């Protein structure tokens, strides 16, 4: 085995991106090779996983932002194959999600844009019609996250508004974001609570789940990127929202580059995916010119921490683990957000 291949294999097995050779002429090439190897391993592991609607969606979004258009097309076709009559994409059997299926929406739109296959356009239109008209919602119009209970979740920040924006309904995307904030945002702590029961007018969980706050940060980054120039005021509003959320999370940032599963609860386990989600949003923000470059220091720490959790099979370990997300494990979304983080990192540094 030559020196380069040995370095890559042993570095990945140990999960470390930091142990580069001292020779500066080799360092850049080896880092690039290590990154490509890590992307391929995490990608392959992600596609081995069984996927619910939101997992198909976030995996397809990762392929879209990495530029793997062939895979975007294939995943979009599968999401359409499993579309319910009511318009929800990628539904597998007893999926209870009202907003989760929209996570695949942008990939379906992109697949249509490239191929002009009318079944893709019709499927995206049905998904949008579900969100705008048919889906369960509060009296104020905020989408419920579940089909069988009037619940508002922070997860829905990522599932619905980015697709609504991608479909050109920018005002509605912002209205949904504001609705989720009204229900779940804690102004003092600058963090999102996880779940609100709108029928009972009380929190199911007022705790600050890391994954839920990560979904929100990624939502902001995607919607800000899509808003047209004529919506400068709305864009500034979302930039302010993102900055507040980033401040709230960073107040609990660990010196090792991680966060706890419940962000402000140090007795909960040390979790991997929130850092990936925040790093993704920071790289997108700096690239877009709306976030100070000073945040790159923390984002790079989060990225390096994520690399340290990739095992020899390409699994991102230590994330809130599927299917219950209440223990350290692995998940499609952790795999996907590693890939999204790398796509955003590469775009920033290209």
The percent of residues above 90 in pLDDT, for the chain, comes to 89
Say whether 167 sits in a helix, a strand or coil: coil
Q: Residue 95 has what pLDDT?
A: 87
Q: Residue 99 has what pLDDT?
A: 98
Contacts of 333 by beta carbon, 8 Å cutoff, 6+ apart = 54, 55, 58, 211, 273, 319
Residue 171: pLDDT above 70?
Answer: yes
Question: H or E stretch including 153?
Answer: strand 151-153
Q: Maximum distance among all alpha carbons in the chain?
A: 65
Where do we find the tokens 């490239």? 114
Q: Residue 277 has what pLDDT?
A: 98
pLDDT digits (tens, 9 = 90+) for 326-348: 999 999 999 999 999 999 999 99
Say whether 28 sits in a helix, a strand or coil: helix
pLDDT digits (tens, 9 = 90+) for 174-206: 999 999 999 999 999 999 999 999 999 999 999
Rounded Cα–Cα distance for residues 127 and 305 (Å): 36
The percent of residues above 70 in pLDDT, for the chain, comes to 93
- Where does the pLDDT of residue 3 fall: very low under 50, low under 70, confident under 90, or very high at 90 and above? very low
Q: Residue 26 has what pLDDT?
A: 57
Look over the chain and give the mean of its residue pLDDT values, rounded to a whole number.
Answer: 93
Least confident of 21-30, 67-76, 169-178, 225-234: 21-30
Residues 259-265 have a mean pLDDT of 98
Residue 62: pLDDT above 90?
Answer: yes
* Topology at the third CATH level for domain 3-349: Glycosyltransferase (1.50.10)
């Amino acid at each position: 085995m030559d020196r380069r291949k040995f370095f890559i294999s042993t570095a990945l097995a140990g999960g470390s991106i930091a142990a580069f050779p001292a020779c500066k002429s080799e360092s850049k090439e080896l880092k690039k090779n290590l990154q490509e190897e890590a992307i391929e391993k995490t990608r392959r592991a992600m596609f081995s996983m069984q996927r619910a609607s939101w997992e198909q969606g976030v995996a397809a979004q990762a392929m879209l932002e990495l530029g793997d258009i062939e895979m975007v097309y294939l995943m979009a076709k599968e999401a359409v194959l499993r579309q319910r009559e009511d318009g929800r994409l990628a539904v597998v059997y007893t999926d209870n999600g009202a907003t989760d299926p929209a996570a695949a929406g942008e990939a379906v739109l992109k697949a249509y844009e490239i191929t002009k296959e009318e079944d893709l356009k019709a499927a995206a239109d049905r998904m949008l019609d579900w969100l705008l008209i048919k889906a369960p919602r509060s009296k104020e119009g905020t989408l419920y996250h579940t089909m069988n209970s009037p619940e508002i979740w922070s997860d829905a920040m990522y599932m619905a508004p980015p697709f609504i924006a991608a479909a050109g309904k920018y005002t509605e995307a912002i209205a949904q974001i504001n609705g989720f904030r009204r229900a779940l945002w804690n102004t003092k702590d600058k963090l999102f609570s996880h779940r609100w029961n709108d029928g009972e007018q009380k929190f199911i969980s007022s705790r600050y789940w890391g994954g839920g706050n990560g979904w929100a940060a990624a939502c902001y980054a995607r919607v800000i990127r899509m808003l047209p120039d004529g919506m400068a005021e709305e864009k500034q509003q979302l930039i302010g929202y993102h900055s507040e959320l980033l401040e709230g999370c960073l107040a609990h940032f660990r010196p090792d580059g991680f966060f706890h599963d419940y962000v402000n609860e140090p007795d909960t386990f040390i979790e991997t995916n929130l850092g990936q989600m925040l790093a993704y949003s920071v790289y997108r923000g700096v690239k877009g010119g709306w976030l100070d470059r000073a945040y790159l220091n923390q984002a790079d720490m989060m990225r390096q921490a994520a690399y340290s959790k990739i095992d020899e099979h390409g699994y991102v370990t230590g994330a809130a683990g599927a299917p219950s997300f209440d223990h350290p494990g692995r998940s499609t979304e952790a795999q996907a957000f590693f890939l999204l983080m790398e796509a955003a990192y590469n775009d920033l540094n290209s």
